Amino acid sequence: MNRCSLLLRLIVLAVVPGALAGQDVAKQLDGRVSPDVRKAVVTIAADAAARGLPVAPLVEKAIEGGAKGVPADRVIAAVRTLAGRMGDAMSALRAAGVVAPSGDVVEGGADALNVGLTSSDVRDLVRVSRPPYDASLTLRVAATLVALGVPPDQALQLVNAMIKAGRSPGDLLTLPAEVQAGVGGGATPGQAAAGLARAAAAGRPPVPPGQAKTGKPVNPHRP
Amino acid sequence: MIAGYHPLVKQVLDGELSLADLPPELRAEAEEAVRLVQAADRAPVILSSAVEDRVMAVVRGHAASPARRAWRWINAPRDIELRLRVRPWVLWGGALAAAAVLALLLTRPTSSPGPETRVASRDSVLVRFVLYAPGARRVAVAGTFNQWDRSAAPLVPAGTSGVWTTTLALPVGQHQYAFVVDGERWVVDPGAPAVNDGFGRRNSLVAVTAHGTRAL
């Protein structure tokens, strides 16, 4: 086999998976979004896949926009923004030493950037997320704390304090509910987070203001 | 027969009880049973050499039957030597084909996006959604767990109180969702944190862990 033939085959090997991924994206979007959105998202997804970014969140965002009746240009803009945010998250993850992050971690990083955390915040959170702490978990918990109104630096402090105190990943997941309980008790999100961080640093169980009487976090979704 | 004895008498025969432990009405039965057991001849049985020869003849005849020999021949492990002579281009072609299949398997995205696919192999947890929407004609919950389908998960009114509720089995993971009131109005869950949905609206957040649900 001559060199040209081998090169051609390698090119086919590199291109065919991307083309198949594009077909798959188009198929998933069929009947759920307008043809314009479908065409644009296929292109954005192919570009994202070529950069090693997960495609599923992009498809999901387009479907969400279609279901909500959002105008096509806004859906395309939102998908493009998400792709850019995932690219930024990927860069932050690589800066943290993660060579090949999973799609879930990249998406978690994008969620964190979406609520206002910076790339360096993402990088720092990933660096402290050693087993048993999954980076996607710490990123999403921090993002949710910020979404609840906790200032970003305090959200990071709280997550860091919990990790340093050796609290379980399950304990990390309860933080947003505990902050909510604190807010329900009259504290600001920042005060609730600060109380939880102090408790973690002191090795006490996480009991924020407003929760001491009942001992039960506010949780509207508990089965 | 031993089988006919009282259970307590059997315990005496097994050495678990003594005669003194039995109620008076069972003692006679137990003494009789003990006497019979003690009278049993425990001397070893010695078979005549003729019996042994007959038994071994039958065993050898069985082992040497044609069916048995055939089965042993079929079943016995053997050393097999295979010699393949292939041209180099066949090897290269095979390697490229294998690489192509591997690349397709590794790079092809899953057939459906969203959390359902990512956590399909994990457990699901029942999650209750509640919305107070007095005057609503119908309410549903749509989110990443049902591909934002407005009709997939309707809520049921609790009487005439205006409270709508449903319970869904959600896969472990974090999900975004919103309530859809009367098929067109998207409403965030007032009891859960919310994030920007990228379209200028908000999505509620819920985290499902293997140990339960957290209002993430």
The mean pLDDT of B24-30, rounded to a whole number, is 86
Both A120 and A50 in a single domain?
Answer: no
Domain membership of residue A1 (yes or no) is: no
Low-confidence ranges of chain A (pLDDT < 50): 12-13, 17, 208-223
Shortest distance between the Cα of A123 and any Cα of chain B, in A, equals 21
Compute the average pLDDT of residues B99-124: 44
At residue A64, the pLDDT reads 96
Nearest by Cα to A51 from A18, A75, A10, A22: A18
Q: Would you tell me which residues 53-72 of chain A have a C-beta closer than 8 angstroms to some C-beta of chain B?
A: 55-57, 59-61, 63-70
| ipTM of predicted complex | 0.72
| Mean pLDDT calculated for residue range B174-191 | 92
Task: Tell me, yes or no, whether A127 and A202 share the same domain.
Answer: yes
Given a contact cutoff of 8 angstroms between Cβ atoms, the answer to whether A55 and A49 are in contact is: yes
Task: Quick: pLDDT tens for A91-107.
Answer: 999 999 888 889 989 99
- Closest Cα in chain B to A27: B111
Is the domain of A169 the same as that of A207?
yes
Name which of A12, A17, A61 is nearest B108 (Cβ-Cβ).
A17
Identify whether residues A82 and A102 lie together within a single domain: no
Residue A184 pLDDT: 86
Residues A158 and A192 placed together within one structural domain of the fold? yes
Chain B residue with minimal CA distance to A147? B195
Residue-number span of the structural domain to which A111 is assigned: 96-223
Same domain, A34 and A71: yes
| Contact state of A176 with B150 under an 8 Å Cβ cutoff | no
Range B110-137 average pLDDT: 63
Cβ separation of A220 and B144 shorter than 8 Å? Answer: no
Count Cβ atoms within 10 A of the Cβ of residue B15 and give its class: 0-12 exposed, 13-18 middle, 19 or more buried.
exposed
Q: Which of residues 145-204 of A touch B (CB under 8 A)?
A: 147-148, 170, 173-174, 176-177, 180
Using the Cβ of B130 and the Cβ atoms of chain A, whether some distance falls under 8 Å is answered with yes
pLDDT of residue B32: 84
Same domain, A126 and A195: yes
Residues A124 and A194 in one domain: yes
> How many helical (H) and strand (E) elements, i.e. helices and strands, does chain B have?
6, 9
One domain for residues A124 and A32: no
Neighbours of B134 (CB within 10 A): 10
Contact call for B195 and A222, based on CB within 8 A: no
**Does residue A139 sit in the same domain as residue A32?**
no
Percent of chain B with pLDDT over 90: 25
Whether residue A85 is found in the same domain as residue A103: no
- Residues in A 117-146 with any Cβ partner in B closer than 8 A: 140-141, 143-144
3-state DSSP call for residue B166? Answer: strand
In sequence order, which ranges of B78-178 are alpha helices (DSSP H)? 88-107, 115-118
Contact B31, B19 (CB under 8 A): yes
Domain boundaries, chain B: 7-38, 50-208
Provide the CB-side half-sphere exposure for A105 (13 A, CA): 21
User: End of a domain among A91, A112, A146?
Assistant: A91
pLDDT at B182 over 70: yes
pLDDT for the residue B19: 83
**Higher per-residue confidence, B102 vs A79:** A79
pLDDT for the residue numbered B172: 77
Query: Among A169, A178, A112, A177, which residue's Cα sits nearest to residue A146?
Result: A112
Q: Is the pLDDT of residue B43 over 90?
A: no
Would A7 be classed as within a structural domain? Answer: no
Q: Give the model's pLDDT for residue B139.
A: 96
Which residue in chain B is spatially nearest to A220 when comparing CA positions?
B191
Instruction: Note the pLDDT of residue A176.
Output: 86
Q: Sort out which chain B residues have CB atoms less than 8 A from A168's CB and list them.
A: none
Could you give the number of structural domains in chain A? 2
Residues A62 and A143 in one domain: no
Give chain B's mean pLDDT.
Answer: 75
Instruction: Name the nearest CA neighbour of B174 among A144, A135, A189.
Output: A144
pLDDT at B161: 86
Decide if pLDDT at B115 tops 90.
no
Instruction: Examine the pLDDT at B114 and tell me if it is beyond 50.
Output: no
Q: Is residue A118 part of a domain?
A: yes
Interface of B with A in 28-87 (CB under 8 A): none
Give the model confidence (pLDDT) of A105-127 as tens digits. Answer: 999 999 999 989 999 999 999 99
| Domain end point (choices A58, A75, A91) | A91
CATH, domain B50-208, list 3.20.20.70, 2.60.120.1440, 3.30.479.30, 2.60.40.10: 2.60.40.10
| Model confidence pLDDT, tens digit, residues B143-180 | 999 999 998 999 999 888 899 999 999 987 778 999 99
Neighboring chain B residues of A114 at a CB cutoff of 8 Å: 195-196, 198
Residues in chain A with CB shorter than 8 Å from the CB of B128 are: 221-223
Chain B residues with beta carbon closer than 8 angstroms to that of A182: none
pLDDT at residue B54 in the model: 78
> How much is the pLDDT for B105?
45
* Residue A141 located in a structural domain: yes
